[in-house]
Amino acid sequence: MSRSPSFSVKSELSLKADPDALQRWVVAFCIIRFDLEQGQLIEECYPPGCLTQEEELEVAFSSFPDSVSQHQNRSSIHDCIFFFRFRRQKHSKQGNVTSSEITEIDDKETTSTPEEEKYIRRSRSIGISKSSKYLYGYVFNRQRHDERLKRGGEQKSVVILSHGPYSSVFRPLLQIMGPLYFDIGKKAIEHIAGYVSLWPGPVPGKLMELPIGNAMLKVNLPPAHSLPLESGVSYEESASSMAPFLPNNQSVPQGLFHDSDIFGTFKGLLLQLWLLWELLLIGEPILIIAPTPPQCCEAVASLISLVAPLLCSVDFRPYFTIHDPEFAQLNALQEGDKYPPMVLGVTNLFFLKSLRNIPHIVSVGSPVPSSSRVTISSRSAGRIPGKPEGFGLQQLSLKKFSPSSLLNAVKMKRDGPLCLMTEHKEAIWSTYVATTKPDTSILNRLIDAGMSPRVEESMSVVNNEILRRHFLELTTNFLAPFGPYFRATTPSEGSSPFADPPPLPPFNADDFLMSLSARGVGKFLSKRMRSNWLDLYRRFLKGPNFLPWFQRRLAVAENEQHRLWRQARMKTDIHLLISRMPELEIVDCFNAIERHLLGEIQLQQSGRAVSDSAAMCLKLKGDLQAVFNLLPNDMQQLLLLNPQRAAFLQGSSSPELTKLPGRPSVQVGDVSSSLPR
Longest dimension (CA), the chain: 100
**Residue 531 reports pLDDT greater than 80:** yes
Average pLDDT over residues 63-84: 74
CB atoms within 10 A of CB 326: 18
How far is the C-alpha of 113 from the C-alpha of 610, rounded, in Å? 14
pLDDT tens, residue by residue, 164-185: 999 999 999 999 999 999 999 9
Strands 153-162 and 28-35: antiparallel
Higher pLDDT, 252 or 186: 186
CA 259 to chain centre: 14
Q: Is the pLDDT of residue 636 over 90?
A: no
H or E element that contains 42:
strand 39-46
Q: How far apart are CA 578 and CA 190, in angstroms?
A: 65
**CA dihedral over 509, 515, 516, 518, signed as positive or negative:** positive
Range of 11-15, 42-46, 126-130, 138-142 with top mean pLDDT: 138-142
Highest mean pLDDT pick, 323-337, 455-469, 541-555, 591-605: 541-555
d(CA 281, CA 549): 12
Question: Is there a contact between 62 and 84 (Cβ–Cβ < 8 Å)?
Answer: yes
Tell whether the model's pLDDT for residue 126 goes beyond 80: no
Read off φ and ψ for residue 429, nearest 5 degrees. Answer: -115, 115
The CA angle 54-60-62, to the nearest 5 degrees, is 105
| 652/456: higher pLDDT | 456
Q: Averaged over 615-624, what is the pLDDT?
A: 89
- Most confident range (mean pLDDT) of 118-132, 151-165, 511-525, 601-615 is 511-525
Residue 592 parent element (H or E): helix 583-606
Q: Is 162 helix (H, G, I), strand (E, B) or coil?
A: strand
Is the pLDDT at 3 greater than 50? The verdict is no
User: How far, in Å, CA of 532 to CA of 537, rounded?
Assistant: 10
Check whether 93 has a pLDDT greater than 50. no
DSSP for 239-281 reads HHHHSSS--S-TTS--STTTT--HHHHSGGGGGGHHHHHHHHH
Higher pLDDT, 384 or 235: 235
Residue 142's φ and ψ, nearest 5 degrees, are -120, 125
Pairing of strands 360-363, 427-429: antiparallel
Q: How confident is the model at residue 149 (pLDDT cuts 50, 70, 90)?
A: low
Query: What are the tens digits of pLDDT across the range 427-479?
Result: 999 999 999 999 999 999 988 755 566 667 778 889 999 999 999 999 999 99
CA distances from 226 to 14, 23, 101, 204, 616 (A): 37, 21, 19, 9, 32
Q: Which residues contact 154 (CB under 8 A, 6 or more apart)?
A: 33, 34, 143, 144, 146
The pLDDT score that the predictor gives to residue 84 is: 96
Most confident of 118-127, 362-371, 530-539: 530-539
Mean pLDDT to the nearest integer, 151-155: 74
Q: Is residue 109 within 8 Å of 131, Cβ to Cβ?
A: no
Half-sphere exposure of 407 (CA within 13 A, CB side): 3
For residue 334, give the amino acid letter: Q
- Per-residue pLDDT averaged across 381-408, rounded? 45
Residue 230 pLDDT > 90: no
Q: Residues 2-5: contacts with CB within 8 Å, 24+ apart?
A: 2/175, 2/376, 2/377, 2/378, 3/175, 3/176, 3/179, 3/376, 4/176, 4/214, 4/215
Q: Which of 471, 535, 25, 39 lies closest to 258, judged by CA?
A: 471
Q: What is the pLDDT of residue 447?
A: 82
Long-range contacts of 55-60, Cβ-Cβ distance < 8 Å, separation of 24 or more: 55/86, 55/88, 55/89, 55/135, 57/323, 58/86, 58/323, 58/324, 58/325, 59/30, 59/32, 59/86, 59/137, 59/159, 59/161, 60/32
Which residues fall within 8 angstroms of residue 299, CB to CB, at 6 or more apart?
265, 266, 288, 290, 345, 362, 364, 365
The closest of 400, 471, 462 to 439, measured between CA atoms, is: 471
Percent of the chain with pLDDT over 90: 48
Task: Tell me the whole-structure pTM to 2 decimals.
Answer: 0.81
Cβ atoms of 204 and 231 within 8 Å: the answer is no
Element (H, E) at 131: helix 127-131
Q: Which of 492, 490, 496, 493 lies closest to 577 in space, CA to CA?
A: 496
Secondary structure element (H or E) that encloses residue 136, with its range: strand 134-145
CA–CA dist 676, 636 (Å, integer): 11
Q: What secondary structure, in 3-state letters, does 78-111 show?
A: EEEEEEEEEECHHHCCCCCCCHHHHHHHHHHHHC
Query: At residue 171, what are phi and psi to the nearest 5 degrees?
Result: -65, -50
- pLDDT at residue 187 in the model: 92
User: Tell me, what amino acid is at 529?
Assistant: M
**Structure confidence at residue 238 (pLDDT):** 52
